Structure 1
């Protein structure tokens, strides 16, 4: 199934190459219904090639919990093979459909997860990414609660940062098509690349 995912993603990437666009936050994005996500687990298998994901193989996202300000989730960030870092990510709702990472709670944990295994100079770069990108820009989450869970971040530079997660490590073609259709319906055309995730449970 991974090969089918790769072939489909390649075709969809090719169809998107002609669209060079500056990123934007989609209009009319609905707030997440955390109750529908309770008990679900998602694996990141498609993403843009960006500064934040350069040291991670994939991520497992689970344990969605509603909070007073938004929601929190448990992440298992794989940095190579089955090496991983477990941490909790907190998102606070800023405006309709746009969330911000809780800097006070997540700065240190996120830096530790994304810097794991890096050399000193890369650790400094990772800390800069966390503080000046992931802790600064708003996140939009788009999901149909069944096929895909997509994270969209629009950098001030105009660069898309998109990570699409699926309910298992071998998504069906239906899962992938549903994710791409949702992005295209929002007018988002970005190159996404497949990740082979060996994440354990």
Structure 2
């Protein structure tokens, strides 16, 4: 069971809001990234921070990443996404490693992404969210992690802006974990304003997933 202390949540919110950087106008995937040993990962990670892009501004309430498995070409994982007004979706994601820290998503996974992230509860298509998913599948994805405290997913939108999703092994990341994550973002030259995932306020929604 997840228990979110109200004082801890306020502290986290204040810390996130205190890092209001001027967002960079040009999005470039950095070079010289660290390799990741996927065999050492905790079993489950939870989305806590994001750039409030059209995907996270639509119907996605929160995400749980689990069952990381190293493959011959990279890594695969399961993703469970909760939605505000539609049923949850669980799907498999396959990453092909290009070089240390740089991955490409398998095109076969795109329909699952779009079904979960681009379709509205009314069955319509969110074009803005679809563009984010299309950019994700068309370009390189930076994955940065110390294999214990955080995972940063970062890629460039078609508007040449950073899209950043950050997950932690708990919905209650410590100040140390947040600091390590911010230091890594600054090291990579990724200056963005991040927002709290709504699931952090209501972690009980992940009961059973």
TM-score by length of 1: 0.87
Displacement after TM superposition at 1:59 (Å): 0.7
Change (3 A) 1:173 1:81: farther
Corresponding residue for residue 114 of structure 1: 117
Helix, strand or coil: the match of 2:32?
Answer: coil
Displacement after TM superposition at 1:94 (Å): 2.0
User: What's the CA shift string for 1:158-192, capped at 9, x where partnerless?
Assistant: 11000111111111111111111111122221111
How far apart, CA to CA, are the structure 2 residues paired with 1:124 and 1:10? 29
Displacement after TM superposition at 1:116 (Å): 5.1
Structure 2 gaps, min length 5: 1-7
How far apart, CA to CA, are the structure 1 residues paired with 2:87 and 2:178? 26
Q: Does 1:96 align with 2:103?
A: no
How far apart, CA to CA, are the structure 1 residues paired with 2:159 and 2:95? 22
Change (3 A) 1:123 1:60: same
Q: How many residues align?
A: 195
Change (3 A) 1:82 1:146: farther
Q: Does 1:61 align with 2:65?
A: yes
Q: Does 1:43 align with 2:46?
A: yes
Displacement after TM superposition at 1:63 (Å): 0.7
Alignment match of 1:185 (pick from 166, 184, 187): 187
Alignment of 1:1-201 (within 5 A): 1-13=8-20, 16-17=21-22, 20-37=24-41, 39-54=42-57, 55-80=59-84, 83-104=87-108, 106-115=109-118, 117-123=120-126, 126-130=129-133, 132-197=134-199, 198=203, 199-200=206-207, 201=209
Helix, strand or coil: the match of 1:73?
Answer: strand
Change (3 A) 1:80 1:174: same
The question of whether the paired residues in 1 share the 8 Å contact of 2:132 and 2:157 is answered with no
Structure 1 gaps, min length 5: none
Change (3 A) 1:193 1:178: same
The question of whether the paired residues in 1 share the 8 Å contact of 2:95 and 2:106 is answered with yes
How far apart, CA to CA, are the structure 2 residues paired with 1:158 and 1:126? 15
The question of whether the paired residues in 2 share the 8 Å contact of 1:23 and 1:158 is answered with yes
Displacement after TM superposition at 1:52 (Å): 2.9
TM-score by length of 2: 0.84
Displacement after TM superposition at 1:71 (Å): 0.6
